[in-house]
Amino acid sequence: MTTNYCLLSSRNCLKETDKVIHSVEYFAPSCQMKRKRMEQAERSVLVSCNSRTTEKKFLKYLSRHGDIKKHFFYESYGIYAVVEFANRESITSLLERAAIPHNSPNQQFGQQCQPQTTPPINELIQRLSKEESIDQQIISLTEAYQLTEENSRLRFLVCSLLKDIAAAYFPECTIRPFGSSVNGFGKLGCDLDMFLDLDGISGRNLKMPKSGLSLEYQMKRANSERAVTQSILSVIGECVEQFGAGCVGVQKILNARCPLVRFAHQPSGFQCDLTANNRVAMKSTELLYLYGELDQRVRCLVFTVRCWARAHGITSSIPGAWITNFSLTVMVLFFLQKRSPPIIPTLDQLRDLAGPADKSVIEGNDCTFVSDFSKIPLHSNTETLEELLHGFFEFYSTFAFSRMSINIRKGKEQNKPEVAPLHIQNPFETSLNVSKNVNATQLDRFVALCQESAWLFQQIETNTPRGLGGNDTSTPWGLASILLPLNVAGVKSRKKKRHEPASERIKSLLESLKNKNHQKKS
């Protein structure tokens, strides 16, 4: 019997039941990681597996083409496998004879798949309730939410697919992931932001001689760089829609401040955004990666605050007046800069430590900061994760949002330059407010939730963790308790109606949970 195989690339199409996708992993914030990812990806393929193919037969067939170094399975509109060979030649051999034999219809593909999304909030609360300390709860949450190596590999695979399509028009182009996919703060299931880089094309940055003969490419002229970006993305968007295997729901959003092509990539399950002129965002990615590497508490606190915010509807996947994850991340960084002693340096301090090779000015914006971690002096702040999380809620419970702006470049509050409920200065494009979309109602909800969470932390600081002494582990405590619903929806009338603080309602909820558990035991 013959089946259908389709290479998810614009270069080839084969015939056979499982789809093979050639992969080239490309960008990572550090040069060492970049080389590692590139080497891995050049030896890797992504295979859509027939449900009747057993893992044993699957690996036995692929092993004919060379030694397999690593493989894993995941689920997204079917079962997929990522396979890394020991040598690149194995990829060529596989694609020349891509035909996996079928087994009997009664056999099922029983390999356990790697999770590609975060656990449901109720499952997370149960998991956290079993930990022995709040610090361990925060670490456990981070481990459950952060990107796995397997998920990271998938993101580079999608970049490879897009590069294959774009290379039909720009043979030497590169497509790089940026944002949460590579800055160290991405959670499982987050969107994949990609950047079409044309600077590597031969002759693009070549300086013309002052005299004598020279050659240059003949190109069409355009009115502006923005017009060129829009044209490039329009063409690539059309190609993705027509020829991008597994790419659905393609939207060309060309009149946005930063033009982009948006689509869903079904084989990976990612929502994707492709831009072509967003270099400041690339520098922001590198800056966040640097901050996350300076102190492990940075990432843990960001993941925890983001999870808390999503659990209470402060952030949303739907565009609107909500606070964004990027704004929350900057707020956490600012808070850590304000500790005594500071946990991380300000952006201006990182700029002052930069060497000549670090200098970067993009469209008139100073994006310079040191890239050598060894040059960055750190203070000996010994605060625990529990103390920092409580401190975050206390800090923003009383922050003067009506008058002051958040600024991680200076590391201190500044008078608002514009009328907006929440003002967070863009670290590089300093004239922009990254939280301009946030309205007063959403900011009030954020402050109210900070107040209630800070109050709850005060109540639980002396509580014995439920996992100790043989106590019941099903009752939420510590971090788990502040992920429970906090009823502060009626913020608009908070000043007029103060009959029952939300803290009292939460206290009653916790008491009722204890009583129920006691009754079950009885």
* pLDDT score, position 278: 85
Mean pLDDT computed over every residue of the chain: 82
- For the stretch 152-199, pLDDT in tens is 988 988 888 888 889 888 888 889 899 999 999 999 999 999 999 887
Cβ atoms within 10 Å of 266's Cβ, excluding its own? 15
**Which tops the pLDDT comparison, 222 or 170?**
170
Mean per-residue pLDDT for 54-77?
A: 86
Mean per-residue pLDDT for 202-228?
A: 70
DSSP 385: H
Mean per-residue pLDDT for 6-10?
A: 35
Mean per-residue pLDDT for 447-465?
A: 80
Residue 474 vs residues 140, 481, 510: alpha-carbon distances, Å = 16, 11, 12
Beta partners for residue 350, in sequence order:
none
Domain limits, the chain = 29-114+146-201+224-279, 297-463+478-483
- For the stretch 16-42, pLDDT in tens is 334 444 333 333 356 677 667 767 777
User: What's the CATH fold of domain 29-114+146-201+224-279?
Assistant: Beta Polymerase; domain 2 (3.30.460)
* pLDDT score, position 76: 80
* pLDDT score, position 11: 31
Mean per-residue pLDDT for 112-134?
A: 88
Give the CA dihedral 106, 109, 110, 116, nearest 10 degrees.
-150
**Residue 196 backbone phi and psi in degrees, to 5:** -85, 110
Q: List, in order, residues 6 or more apart from 494 with CB less than 8 Å away.
A: 444, 448, 488
Percent of the chain at pLDDT above 70? 77
User: Strand, coil or helix: what is 337?
Assistant: helix
- For the stretch 310-341, pLDDT in tens is 999 999 988 889 999 999 999 999 999 999 99
- Of 49-53, 110-114, 210-214, 492-496, give the lowest mean pLDDT range: 492-496
- Of 43-47, 367-371, 420-424, 465-469, give the lowest mean pLDDT range: 465-469
Quickly list DSSP for 477-493: -THHHHTS----TTGGG
Mean per-residue pLDDT for 68-85?
A: 86
| Chain Cα centroid distance, residue 5 | 31
Q: Could you tell me the pTM of the whole model?
A: 0.80
**Which tops the pLDDT comparison, 394 or 83?**
394
Percent of the chain at pLDDT above 90? 48
Give 302's Cβ-side CA count (13 Å radius). 29
Structural contact between residues 157 and 194, judged by C-beta atoms closer than 8 angstroms: no
For residue 521, pLDDT over 60 is answered with no
- For the stretch 478-489, pLDDT in tens is 999 999 887 554
* pLDDT score, position 493: 37
Alpha helices by DSSP H, 405-492: 440-460, 479-482
Alpha helices by DSSP H, 265-421: 279-294, 296-311, 325-337, 347-352, 385-397
Q: List, in order, residues 6 or more apart from 42 with CB less than 8 Å away.
A: 24, 25, 88, 91
**Measured distance CA(74)–CA(150) in Å, rounded:** 9
* pLDDT score, position 512: 56
* pLDDT score, position 494: 38
User: What's the CATH fold of domain 297-463+478-483?
Assistant: Poly(a)-polymerase, middle domain (1.10.1410)
* pLDDT score, position 460: 58
**Which tops the pLDDT comparison, 206 or 154?**
154
Among 459, 407, 458, 410, which residue's Cα sits nearest to residue 434? 407
**Measured distance CA(485)–CA(508) in Å, rounded:** 13
pLDDT-derived band of residue 275, with 50, 70 and 90 as boundaries? very high
* pLDDT score, position 444: 96
Helices (H) and strands (E) in the chain, counts: 15, 13
